[in-house]
Amino acid sequence: MDALQRTSVGARLASPAFGALSEGETNPAPTKPLSPLAPEASASQPAGGHHLLVDFWVADAEPLRRVATWETLLPDACREAGATVLGGRFHQFEPEGVTGIVLLAESHASLHTWPEAGLVTLDVFTCGALDAHAIVDRIRDALAPVRERITAVDRGDRAPDAARSARGPASGEALPNSASGVPSP
């Protein structure tokens, strides 16, 4: 893919909340390294990160209905938590509901809303020193959920089974939650 094609892809992915790009424009360089695993970040940083799967049920579904809420709320929550926001894309469903993603130098944050059920689901994956919980805390503060469910998953070298092998399980060895359904000893 040449530079012009990359710019065109970037231009199509930019949303108005992040300043749509004109043909030939590129995103400004972030103030932090693009890769949180770059030598500037830490030579001892493990590959992988923390992944939070979040369900928030709210009494007031109004913030879940319109894309404008999320074009501001999600990137602002990421920035306030110390993330480097690279861009984002949001979509308004008719008659209501939103899906969206914010691309971070430290990974991503995404969401989907079901206003009719008072439900927003978030997917927040961070690597490096960025705390995924800090992003979720800011969304929680804004929405005041009446019920929540959060599943935390360590990914890559941060996962409990990562010490077994850098290449994955040995031939025939099943890991917990594997397709075979048989946990490893």
Catalytic residues, by residue number, are 107, 112, 127
Quickly list H helices, the chain: 3-13, 62-65, 67-80, 132-143
Q: Which residues pair with 57 in a beta bridge?
A: 119, 147
Q: What is the DSSP letter of 158?
A: T
Distance CA 28, CA 94 (A): 33
CB-CB neighbours of 185 under 10 Å: 5
b/e string for 117-152 if b means 16 or more Cβ within 10 A? ebbbebebbbbbebbbbbbbebbbebbebeeeeeee
What three-state secondary structure class fits 40? Answer: coil
Contact 160, 50 (CB under 8 A): no
